[in-house]
Structure 1
Amino acid sequence: MKRLFTAILLMALTAPLSMAQIQKDTFTTNQGELEIWHIGHGTLMFKFGENIIHVDPYSKLTDYNRLPKADLILITHEHGDHLDTAAINAIRKPSSDIILTSVCREIIREGQTIANHETTTWNNLLIEAVPAYNLVHKRDNGEFYHPKGRGNGYILNFGDKRVYVAGDTENIPEMKAIQNIDIAFLPMNLPYTMTPEMTAKAAKLFNPAILYPYHYGDTDTNILVKLMKDNGKTEVRIR
């Protein structure tokens, strides 16, 4: 009986989230409401007007067949927890667009590529590609988990609100040039991205109005909250 209870508990803890279980925040812009759905890991969904935008959909997190279909899919880099063809196929429709890196396009052979520092416009939405890479953390073979130039972060301009989804990155110097960010998502998981200390340093480079740590796994988010409590410029929200 104890083994059965343990098995049921593990199934409940690892079961994909339903739409009702996904946390949502709503923001007012000068072009209407922006909904941000915190699906988990490095995965987000935005609803802006009639448009649904999925970022790095990952099928282990939820049943994407039950989520709204994508008008746009953004992919930050080629790792399997960010470039998941099963999730992409579940949320796409004939009119769905995909914006991604050149490495990702080589894998799935479709979509519009955008490189670091480039911009593009999709359905009147300005999208800016920001570098995302490691400076410190490496694999055993000496290669960075995320080499410079391969991955993107994205700044999305929803009316007068600028949202920065950093992708898998560390506190890189390019962040100093980022300006006027209303909402930022910064990763915080070892050994692949940042410690809480690195995440706090990253946030202080550009001072977003609201900071959501994401992709944080088992990292203690309270450490980041404490590191940022005296900042005065940034509100940290944990989801």
Structure 2
Amino acid sequence: MCSLGLRFVGHSTVRVELAGHAVLTDPVLTDRVSALTRVTPSATSADRADVDLVLLSHLHGDHVHLPSLRLLSEHVRVVVPRGAGDWLRGKGVRHVDELAPGEELEHGDLRITGVRAEHSGHRWGPRSTRGPQAVAMGHLIEGADRKVYAAGDTDLFPEMADLTGIDVAFLPVWGWGPTLGPGHMDPARAAAAVELIRPRVAVPVHWGTLAVAGLPRVPGRHGKRMRRLLTDPPHEFADAVTGATQVVVTRPGENVRLPGAVPGSS
């Protein structure tokens, strides 16, 4: 059986080792992202070692982070939502391919399928009309009889029920601030997504990694709320999930310890 290696690097960044390839989703590999700062241990060189495929879900700056992309080998294949390829090439990223929801591409022994996401695809957010825009998406990563779903940023949508046979689903359960804007799932909505998808394992992501610089240290209720939101959402998600799906809460920077019930887990 082929092993499936998974590491939650932080935020929406997951390292997937499958079928002889190392894949990164939405790589954020630095300690700062604009006004946000990393509140967990820094990403390491091992997180990006030997990566040969990058999957970008949408153009927001905490998902398409140009300084992080520049830390990777120039030979890495970068897959961006359809319509944003020229923009990314213009930023100096080489070997760019485009993908849209419903489309597939092959990468060696991997098959990557674009999946719908309910989220703004504009670089500067849902209210901007200037700058690059491309439809937001998630990804199915398939190889060696394993299927991994990386949702990117998304709210709940009914067609999640069409995603079948998922071994591991990486689902966002919060964000980086004290509130959530449109196009996101909180723990309860992420648990509802599990009910639709019914993966063998669900791993909560998009939590506990980034915060507005200084906010967690602010005295009073605002700082207290932010500190709670850096730790509680994945556990609230786990408590809300019912049924056969096993939830594996993994801290940013840690390997995902898959239960033995998932074939090929290591």
Normalised by the length of structure 1, the TM-score is 0.75
* Residue of structure 1 aligned with 2:54, choices 37, 55, 73: 73
* Residue of structure 2 aligned with 1:98, choices 78, 97, 101: 78
Q: Partner residue of 1:226?
A: 239
Deviation at 1:126, TM superposition (A): 1.0
Helix, strand or coil for the counterpart of 2:196? helix
Q: Please tell me whether the aligned partners of residues 186 and 233 of structure 2 are also in contact (alpha carbons under 8 angstroms).
A: no
Q: Partner residue of 1:197?
A: 188
Give the letter for the 1:44 counterpart.
Answer: V
More helix by share: 1
Q: Deviations over 1:19-71 (max 9, x none)?
A: xxxxxxxxxxx4x2121111010001122254221111113354565530321
Q: Partner residue of 1:47?
A: 17
Q: Partner residue of 2:65?
A: 84
Task: State the identity as a percent.
Answer: 25
Deviation at 1:221, TM superposition (A): 2.2
Q: Partner residue of 1:119?
A: 104
Helix, strand or coil for the counterpart of 1:226? helix
Deviation at 1:141, TM superposition (A): 7.7
Q: Partner residue of 2:164?
A: 179
Give the letter for the 1:83 counterpart.
Answer: V
Give the letter for the 1:46 counterpart.
Answer: V
Deviation at 1:200, TM superposition (A): 0.8
Q: Please tell me whether the aligned partners of residues 19 and 143 of structure 2 are also in contact (alpha carbons under 8 angstroms).
A: no
**Misfit runs of 4+, over 4 Å:** 63-66, 139-143
Helix, strand or coil for the counterpart of 1:39? strand
Query: Any gaps of 5 or more consecutive residues in structure 1?
Result: 1-29
Q: How does 1:4-15 map to 2 (within 5 A)?
A: none
Query: Any gaps of 5 or more consecutive residues in structure 2?
Result: 32-41, 209-228, 251-266
Normalised by the length of structure 2, the TM-score is 0.68
Q: Please tell me whether the aligned partners of residues 58 and 80 of structure 2 are also in contact (alpha carbons under 8 angstroms).
A: yes
Aligned length: 199
Helix, strand or coil for the counterpart of 2:3? strand
Structure-1 separation of matches of 2:44 and 2:87: 21
Q: Please tell me whether the aligned partners of residues 132 and 149 of structure 1 are also in contact (alpha carbons under 8 angstroms).
A: no
Q: How does 1:58-69 map to 2 (within 5 A)?
A: 58-61=28-31, 62-63=42-43, 65=45, 67-69=48-50
* Structure ranking higher on relative contact order (CA contacts 8 Å, 6+ apart): 2
